[in-house]
Amino acid sequence: MSPELVYLAMTLVAVGGLAGFAAGLFGIGGGAIIVPALYYAFSTLGYSEDVVMHSAVATSAAVIVLNAVKSVRSHHEHGAVDWDLLWPKNPLQSYALWIGLGSFLAAVWLAPKMSGEGLTLLFAVMASLISLQFIFGRPDWTVRDNVPGGIARPIVGGSVGGLSALMGIGGGSITVPLMAMCNIPIHRAVATASGFGFTIALPSTTGFIISGWYVSGRPDFSIGYVNLLGFICVALLAHFTIPLGAKAAHKLSQKKLKLVFGLCLLAVAANMARKVVFA
C-alpha cells in the first residue's frame, strides 16, 4: 500500500472515531463532522477539487445509513418513534416518502450539476445556520400546534431531503427543530428524526453512486462518489466511539456542549467558505 493510502486510511480512522464520539456527545448524526473532515482529508491528498466535496458528502451519507438504522431501532424499543408521522397508512401523506424522493433527486440530478466550489459553499452556509441553532436555539420555540399537511408535505419534505442530501447529513439538525416548532415533544422529535435520517441517507447514497459512476478523479476505492475506504473506516470506528460519547454526555452540561459545538462548527464553516471565496 502506498504512503498516500496509508495516510488516507489513518486520517479516516481518526475521522470515524471523532465523528462517532461527537454523535454520542451532541446527539447528532455525525455528518456535520464527517463531511468537512473528509473534505480536508481528500483535498490534502491532492484529489481534484471538482470531486472532493461530492465524495465527502456521498461517503458521509453512506455512513449515516448504518447510524440511522441503529438509532431508529433503539428509539423504537422505547416507543418514542412517531410512525404515524413517519409512514402513515396513506403513503402520499408520508413525510418520509417526500424526504426520500427529494434526497434521491438531489443526489442523482442536482449535485452533479453543482461545482465542487458551489457544493462546498452551500455546506458552509447551511452549517453556519445549523451552528446558530446550536448556539441560540431553544427547544420550547413553537409556531404551530401540529405538523402541516396537504401540499406542504411534498414541498417541505422534498426540500428537507434535498438539502440534507447535498450536505451529507442525516437531517436531524433540520427536522428536529422543525418538529419541535410544530409542538412535537423534543424526545419524540429526536426519535422520529432518526427514521427520517434513514429515508435521507439510503436514497441519497444510491443517487450518489449512480451520478458519480463515470466521473474521473475520484479518491481511490470509490463506487460512484462513495469512497469505500472512507465508509469502512468511519463506520467501524464510529460504532465503537458513539457509546463513549453518549456516556460522556451524561457527565457534562448539554447547554455548554452545544455552545462549544456550535462555535466550532461555525469556525469550520467559515474556513470552508473562505477557501471558496478567496481561492
**CB-CB contact of 176 with 189 (8 Å):** yes
Residues facing 227 on adjacent strands: 222
Q: Where would I find the H helices in the chain?
A: 3-26, 31-44, 52-77, 83-86, 95-105, 111-113, 116-136, 152-167, 172-181, 186-211, 228-249, 254-277
Tell me the pLDDT tens digit for each residue of 213-248: 999 999 989 999 999 999 999 998 888 887 787 777
Looking at residue 1, its pLDDT comes to 62
Which residue from 165, 135, 183, 133 is spatially nearest to 62, judged by alpha carbons?
A: 165
Which cell numbers hold the place of 80? 418514542
Domain ranges of the chain: 3-277
| Measured CA angle at 46 (ends 30, 235), to 5 deg | 25
Query: What confidence score (pLDDT) does residue 28 get?
Result: 64
- 227, containing H or E segment: strand 226-227
pTM of the predicted model as reported, rounded to 2 decimal places: 0.91
Name the packing angle between helices 52-77 and 228-249 (round to 10°). 50
Count the residues in the chain: 279
- Per-residue pLDDT of 39-93, as tens digits, reads 988 888 889 999 999 999 999 999 999 888 877 887 788 888 889 888 888 888 8
pLDDT in tens, 163-215: 999 999 988 888 888 888 888 887 788 888 888 989 999 999 999 999 999 99
DSSP per position, 166-182: HHT--SHHHHHHHHHHT
Binned at pLDDT 50, 70 and 90, residue 27 comes out as: low
